[in-house]
Amino acid sequence: MVPFNRGGGRGGGGGRSRDNWADNLNKGNEKLERYYNEPEFVPEEEREEFWAALKRDLPNSFRFTGSRGHALAVQERLKDFYIPKITSIQYEGEFVEPPRPVSWYPDQLAWQMTTPKNVIRRHAPFASFQKFLVAETEVGNISRQEVVRSKSCQLMEMVHAGEEESIREVAEQAKAGTIGAEPQGPEGLNDDGRTTGLLIANDSDYKRSHLLIHQMKRLSSPNLIVTNHDATMYPSIKLPPLPNVEGPQKTRYLKFDRILADVPCSGDGTARKNYNVWKDWNPSNALGLHLTQARILVRALQMLKVGGRVVYSTCSMNPVENESVIASAIQRCGGAQNVKIVDCSQELPGLKRAAGLKTWKVMDREGRIWSSWKEVEEHKESQGIEGLELTFPLERCMRIYPHQQDTGGFFITVLEKTSEIRAKPEDNSSVIPRAPVTPVANLTAELDARKNSNDDPQAKLSSLDNVVVPDPEVQAELAKNQSVAEATNQPPYSATLGASDATANAKRDNQDFEEEVPAKRVKLDSGIEALVGDRPVHDPVPAGQVENVAAPTKPTSGPGYPGKKKGSHQEDPYKYLDPNHEELAPIFDFYQLSERFPRDRFMVRNADGAPHKTIYYTSALARDILTQNEGSGMKFVHCGVKMFVKQDAQRENVCRWRIQTDGLKITEPWVNDDGWKNLGEIGARVKDIPMGCSILRVEPNGKEDGLNERMVLPLWRSLHSLNLMLPKEERRAMLLRIFNDDTPLVNATLKNQNKPDASGTSGTDTPMQETPAISTAGADNAALKNEDTQLAEDEQAFVESRESFVKIGDEEDTFNTTV
């Protein structure tokens, strides 16, 4: 068997592909190569392999998403059906290497294959395997991002791990009447089996925060909040007062158990797929990012509980963005007595890694390599400093080089907060924090001193421009900080660095970080409102310079709402329904939802708080956070799972609230079984199904040729038809998985809307697939058409909302169908 690698003309499927183009790229960069050929990086005997890997395209990889029951059934499908098929394929006279599990990844959930994407895409024998990958990716059972890259989704899956089984167990007890009044379930799942965990995902870039939503939507979690803030000054999140406590209480703020700081980085470890790295790599990119990275890490450490952990990760191999940031952040947080680097050498034993660097060199913009370690030593000696900082066990940081397991290059460190911290202000002589152990800081300080004799911090900043090529992201952040700072009369970070205000410093030092100052909302000159978080990571604002700005009480929509300003990204409000709201009781009745299912977590997204069109559901903690921080300026860009959508119906006494697939996953175990009929073969009995929504459960029959996975599907019975209310991508994956049927699906209802004659004699040339609709006569009934159109459009909108970020050409075209 041979792996298909680039080169030798292989991998072309005809036409000018990205891959052919990539083959011809000059994958070389003199500075990059000179820097990473320094002996501290890769041992000499591995260097050739290292460069060969970095210049080769990445293998395809995909991951089964762990928390979902039938993702495991999909994994079986790969092993039992597709792998035997693939191993019998020959391409250009040789057998193809099938996908294989990634050795270090638990439970064979991650897989890799060396066959290039364009071979898979364009050659017939791969077509069915490719369709399987596309279909299962669309429904979220497979993630095709690089194994190390789909981190937010993996975290979400971990929050939900074990939930399906624990809910089922508790729901069974509830049905049997053997359950107590208190919420049940094992630790972490003790909300009657549901997870009590919460993931807050954040990105300062608005579009990217929506990309996060898009990626996570497939997991349909009520335990997710997405925010859009600058992580260097992430606002403190208020919690509700503790119940059953008499008298006035201190305001409580959320402290995190775990934080992943997946920071912006120069990304030279991604050269295997971001070819621009070869063209654009410059050492000063890393220098320009160091400051932001260190600030994000310090802020993360502050927001952590004592005993909590931060994972700091980059896809860069440059120590300026890695070990140097770790050392600098630990030092600013008071040293090793407050923050320890966790020894992970026993974790993931199959994962090959190199130890973090304890010394390193820094290359400046001109390509000169500076070694300031000696100077650090001399400085320490002259100052009589014993090797305190040297005790940071930076070797516990983990460096992953591309050749070690055929991945990108990346860096990971786990930090544990061992006691409460009071972050020291940034060093006041350089824009880059000066930790005595970090040669980066020494270098920048040295360059800084050389170029500046005066004490003007702004001049120092500009002088560094000659040395550090500004990173556009950092520049944008600095500009933003400057405008926020101006609005609050604060000097911007860069300009505060020289400021020393003993009183304010003392005040900051005395601050109890359990009682962080909450975020303030301020109005900028431009008229846009911005949020200034508590700024414990930076020099404090000189006392008396900032006035508290009261949180706005203006409505965010409805009467008096000024409307969305261009570029201001106004979010719709989150309003929770009263548990006794008149719309909820009939829904609970109709779906025969257990009394035990919580009623105080249903939410709508409009200013008047009324259920007009859609009802969402969130976890209790998400609800508490959204309600406590309303109007505080926190930018919550996403929360809640769509549970019910209002639907036109042509008869009286039909529950208008149609359950959504995502919501069904949450409520299904709590639906009373008594209302269910054993239909056996569904066929003609469909006519007995009452109008409105029903839930169809398909149980495996245990026979060899029968189904081996349980399915729960929402149906909508209108006057003359029964609709399987499943997004097209879910339907396609299901048909492929069960019947190996890959016939393209077409939205019959919407297509018919576009035709002058629904009989199909004119209009589009596109072939219409007769879907297995159970449809009777009378389709010309206008009212019925309306209802069907509404169903179809709703599902179409659903699919579109999922696909707005899919890259053109990356996935197959999709079109929704109602049956």
Which one of 265, 315, 639, 693 is the catalytic residue? 315
- Please compute, for residue 114, the number of CA atoms within 13 A of its CA located in the half-sphere on the CB side: 14
For residues 787 and 778, the answer to whether their CB atoms sit within 8 Å is: no
Question: Cβ closer to ligand SAM: 202 or 694?
Answer: 202
For residues 473 and 293, the answer to whether their CB atoms sit within 8 Å is: no
Helix or strand holding residue 657 (H, E): strand 657-659
> What is the residue-wise DSSP string for 292-310?
HHHHHHHHHHHHEEEEEEE
Cα 387 to Cα 406, 426, 437, 466, 701, distances in angstroms: 38, 21, 9, 33, 69
Distant-in-sequence, close-in-space partners of 85: CB < 8 Å, separation ≥ 6? 128, 129
- Can you tell me the distance from the alpha carbon of 78 to that of 69, in angstroms, rounded to the nearest whole number? 15
Q: Is 230 annotated as a binding residue?
A: yes
- If phi > 0 it is left, if psi is from -120 to 50 it is alpha, else beta; for residue 456 that is beta
Binding region for ligand SAM (CB under 6 A): 149, 151-152, 202-205, 208, 230-232, 262, 264, 292, 473, 477
Helix (H/G/I), strand (E/B), else coil: 369: strand
Four-point Cα dihedral 38, 39, 43, 45, nearest 10: 80
- Please compute, for residue 720, the number of CA atoms within 13 A of its CA located in the half-sphere on the CB side: 14
Q: Is 509 annotated as a binding residue?
A: no
Dig out the tokens for 798 from the structure.
Answer: 């659903």
Question: Cβ closer to ligand SAM: 226 or 333?
Answer: 226
Is 315 part of the annotated catalytic residue set?
yes
Helix (H/G/I), strand (E/B), else coil: 370: strand
Nearest to 748 by CA among 690, 795, 694: 795
Residue 340 CB, nearest approach to ligand SAM (Å): 24
Helix locations, 351-428, DSSP H:
373-382, 402-405
- Can you tell me the distance from the alpha carbon of 394 to that of 209, in angstroms, rounded to the nearest whole number? 32
Residue 295 CB, nearest approach to ligand SAM (Å): 8
Radius of gyration (Cα) for the chain, nearest Å? 29
- Can you tell me the distance from the alpha carbon of 90 to that of 531, in angstroms, rounded to the nearest whole number? 59
For residues 323 and 397, the answer to whether their CB atoms sit within 8 Å is: yes
Residue 532 CB, nearest approach to ligand SAM (Å): 14
Nearest to 165 by CA among 64, 72, 75, 67: 67
Residue 201 CB, nearest approach to ligand SAM (Å): 8
Q: Tell me which DSSP letter residue 569 carries.
A: -
Question: Cβ closer to ligand SAM: 407 or 667?
Answer: 407
Residue 234 CB, nearest approach to ligand SAM (Å): 8
Nearest to 794 by CA among 685, 645, 683, 595: 645
| β-sheet bridge partners, residue 143 | 63
- Can you tell me the distance from the alpha carbon of 761 to that of 753, in angstroms, rounded to the nearest whole number? 14
**Helices 323-332, 439-451: inter-axial angle, 10-degree rounding:** 80
- Can you tell me the distance from the alpha carbon of 387 to that of 426, in angstroms, rounded to the nearest whole number? 21
Residue 226 CB, nearest approach to ligand SAM (Å): 12
Length of the chain in residues, anyone? Answer: 819
Question: Cβ closer to ligand SAM: 299 or 717?
Answer: 299
Question: Cβ closer to ligand SAM: 199 or 497?
Answer: 199
Q: Is 262 annotated as a binding residue?
A: yes
- Can you tell me the distance from the alpha carbon of 77 to that of 521, in angstroms, rounded to the nearest whole number? 52
Q: State residue 504 phi and psi, 5-degree precision.
A: -65, -40
Residue 151 CB, nearest approach to ligand SAM (Å): 4
Question: Cβ closer to ligand SAM: 482 or 789?
Answer: 482
> What is the residue-wise DSSP string for 677-718?
---SS-GGGGGGSPSEEEEEEE-----TTS--S-EEEEEEE-
Residue 429 CB, nearest approach to ligand SAM (Å): 23
Question: Cβ closer to ligand SAM: 231 or 736?
Answer: 231
Residue 291 CB, nearest approach to ligand SAM (Å): 10
Nearest to 754 by CA among 797, 785, 710: 785
Nearest to 441 by CA among 308, 556, 294: 294
Residues with catalytic function: 315
Could you list the residues known to form a binding site, using ranges. Answer: 203, 230, 262
Could you list the residues known to form a binding site for S-adenosyl-L-methionine, using ranges. Answer: 203, 230, 262
